[in-house]
Amino acid sequence: MLPGMNPKQMQKAMKQLGIRQEEIEAIAVIIRTKSEDIIITNPSIQKVNMSGQISYQISGEEEHRAIEEEIEISEEDIKTVMEQANISSEKAKIALEEHKGDLAAAILSFQK
């Protein structure tokens, strides 16, 4: 804010410059990167439209959370582990999930 300018004057000046601002109510903001989620809790969000260019100004409490990869396990993989380790499909699926889809590791886990 500019010194000596009250909020109403600031809003009027912004409007004259073609800048529109609105507050967005939210519970949290999640920014997803390749390796983590950045979660902003208790956010204060301002959407600013300046001559058609929209930007967001976000402030709040920051938290980081690693992204866990979701592994796709095919029926064929489950069948392979079942046959090689001589186990049920449920146990085969659990072993594949525990070993992040690695067939060899899942099979070897039953040979110990």
pLDDT in tens, 45-78: 999 998 889 999 999 999 999 987 778 899 999 9
HSE-CB of 100 using CA atoms within 13 angstroms: 3
Angstrom distance (rounded) from CA 76 to CA 55: 47
Angstrom distance (rounded) from CA 79 to CA 103: 11
For the record, the structure tokens of 59 come out as 């402030």
Token pair 């029926």 is at which residue?
A: 75
Domain boundaries, given as residue ranges, for the chain: 9-66, 75-108
Confidence category of residue 16, pLDDT binned at 50, 70, 90: confident
Q: What is the pTM of this model?
A: 0.53
Q: Is the pLDDT of residue 112 over 70?
A: no
Kindly report the CA angle at 84 between 79 and 85, in degrees rounded to 5? 100
Domain 9-66 in CATH 3.40.50.300? The answer is: no
